[in-house]
Amino acid sequence: MKITEAKVIVCCPGRNFVTLKIITDQGIFGLGDATLNGMEKSVVAYLENYCIPSLIGRDPANTEDIWHYFYRGVYWRRGAVSMTAVSAIDMALWDIKGKVLNTPLYNLIGGKSRDKVLVYCHAYGKNIAETLIDVGKYVEKGFRAVRVQSGIPGIEHTYGVPKDNKHYEPAHKGLAHEEVWDTPRYLNFVPELFEKVRETFGDNIHLLHDAHHRCTPVEASRLAKELEPYHLFWLEDPVAGELQEGLRLIRQHSVTPIAIGEVFNTIFDYSSLFTEQLIDYIRMPIVHGGGITHLLKVAAMASVYHINTGFHGATDLSPVNLAASVHFNMAVNNFGILEYMPHQEIVSEVFSTNYRFEDGYLKIDESPGIGVDIDEKAAKKFPYAMARLPVNRKTDGTMFNW
Ligand code: EZ4
Ligand code: CO
């Protein structure tokens, strides 16, 4: 079998998605998600100009060799743009492998370790009262795990709380919006938020929180310590990932479990965090972390250190990535949880999917490969629309992490 063609499909049903389609001489094709929020066109250019010409003629069965060709074989390797491209290629090749062997992806990577995958959703509100109502809504829907973010008094717009309270979508059409951040107010507020959530909903629900890279190591240590009584499932991205030693300080001060790495790309971003036992969950998703091939290795290494998966699954990752994540997490032993933000209804006009939410879990059917398809004609009805993630400043105007 040979790869005869590969194309990149960009569409915007509600938000931008980039999809790689790899086609073989036997008519079987595979899909990979190549969406990098706000940087979509950079990945398109890398795929079209660099990767696709080198894919033609290769045997799609050789997932390991092709992965290394586009990673090890590339002198200027790593980084979000190129690793998203590598991930898309890898996903599409595993999709083809499953279709050739007529079996779901999970059967190729260990089979079922479980029947269903525990997921968490996002609850939010402008203030604690509204947030409690939103948490209640998701508990009612059957979710067993909820990420809780709330507007903070004195901060005009807080990460994780949509302005219009409608659909959660951090990217805005056009150039980047500027947001304002105030860490002292945040730190004073969050423990009270979780006190109220626990008080209202009891111990029988998993609670998660995303600090979105905004604390220094000592601030994050205070937060993790003060949140201890509320037994979080995890505290996510307490510090920016570049300074990995920062996580050691948090560990020295608290037993709140830590998840990190939705912006990581390779095992090298994680290896010392694993060996030094500084984190508990892997956030790096299939679409940005080198695909199935690489994440199998990351998960295997993590398993030695009792570290579990907790993949990123926001709506800016396409249904192809979500389905691949469900397969992956059906199969690996060290599964923790998967983020699940249902896509807008309009997304189903372009993508047909094979997963369904039931009673707090995602289940996947037995269709071969990844099991998601794209309607290219429908995709054309939703052309790319420029959108960017926000940027963030401190109250005095200092540029900060978003
Ligand atoms: O900000 O997906 O845990 N989830 C997150 C997300 C990210 C967006 C960035 O594109 O942090 O909301
Ligand atoms: Co996050």
3 state SS for 85-138? HHHHHHHHHHHHHHHHHCCEHHHHCCCCCCCCEEEEEEEEECCHHHHHHHHHHH
Beta-carbon count within 10 A of 40 CB:
24
**pLDDT reading at 166 higher than 80:** no
Instruction: Give me the pLDDT at residue 294, please.
Output: 98
pLDDT at 169: 87
Length of the chain: 402
Distance CA 348, CA 33 (A): 15
Query: What is the mean predicted confidence (pLDDT) over 373-385?
Result: 98
Q: Which two tokens stand for residue 186?
A: 């945040």
CA distance 387 to 16: 8
> Measuring from atom 6 of ligand 1, which residue has the nearest CA?
314
47: DSSP letter: I
**pLDDT at res. 163:** 80
Please, are residues 251 and 227 in contact by the beta-carbon 8 Å criterion? Answer: no
Give, for ligand 1, the residue of 167, 233, 312 to mutate: max count of ligand atoms closer than 8 Å to Cβ: 312
3-state secondary structure of 349: helix
Give the E-state strand segments of 291-354 in sequence order.
308-309, 338-339, 351-352
Distance (Å, whole) CA 146 – CA 136? 10
Distance from the alpha carbon of residue 209 to the mean position of ligand 2, in angstroms: 9
Mean pLDDT, residues 287-297 taken together: 98
Nearest CA to ligand 1 atom 7: 314
Please state the φ and ψ torsions of residue 17, each to the nearest 5 degrees: -130, 140
What are the tokens at 41? 């066109």
Domain boundaries, the chain: 3-104, 108-366
Give the type of residue at 173: K
Options 3.30.390.10, 1.10.1200.10, 3.40.50.620, 3.10.180.10; CATH for 3-104 is 3.30.390.10
For residue 148, pLDDT beyond 90? yes
What pLDDT shows up at residue 111? 98
**Which of the four pLDDT bands, split at 50, 70 and 90, describes residue 342?**
very high
Which residue in the list 159, 340, 355, 361 is annotated as catalytic?
Answer: 159
Task: State mean pLDDT over 83-112.
Answer: 98
Tell me the pLDDT of the chain averaged across its residues. Answer: 97
The pLDDT confidence band at residue 165, using thresholds 50, 70 and 90, is low
Residue 114 has pLDDT above 80, yes or no: yes
Report the DSSP beta bridge partners of residue 208: 147, 234
* Residue 50 contacts residue 121 (beta carbons within 8 Å): no
CA 256 to centroid of ligand 1, rounded, Å: 21
Cα–Cα distance for residue pair 75/89, rounded to 1 Å: 18
Binned at pLDDT 50, 70 and 90, residue 101 comes out as very high
Is 12:2 a contact under the CB 8 Å cutoff?
A: no
From the CA of 388, which ligand is nearest?
Answer: 1
Please tell me which residue, 86 or 164, carries the higher pLDDT value: 86
- DSSP code for 189: H
Pocket test for ligand 1, best of 33, 149, 210 (most atoms within 8 A of CB): 210
Architecture of domain 108-366: Alpha-Beta Barrel (3.20)
Mean pLDDT, rounded, for 52-64: 98
Residue 378: which residues within 8 A CB-CB, separation 6 or more? 13, 349, 350
Closest-CA residue to 9 (of 390, 400, 374, 320): 374
Would residue 139 be called left, alpha or beta, if left means φ above 0 and alpha means ψ between -120 and 50 degrees? alpha
Q: What is the pLDDT of residue 157?
A: 86
213 noted as active-site residue? no
Q: Which candidate, 90, 94, 116, places its Cα nearest to that of 105?
A: 94
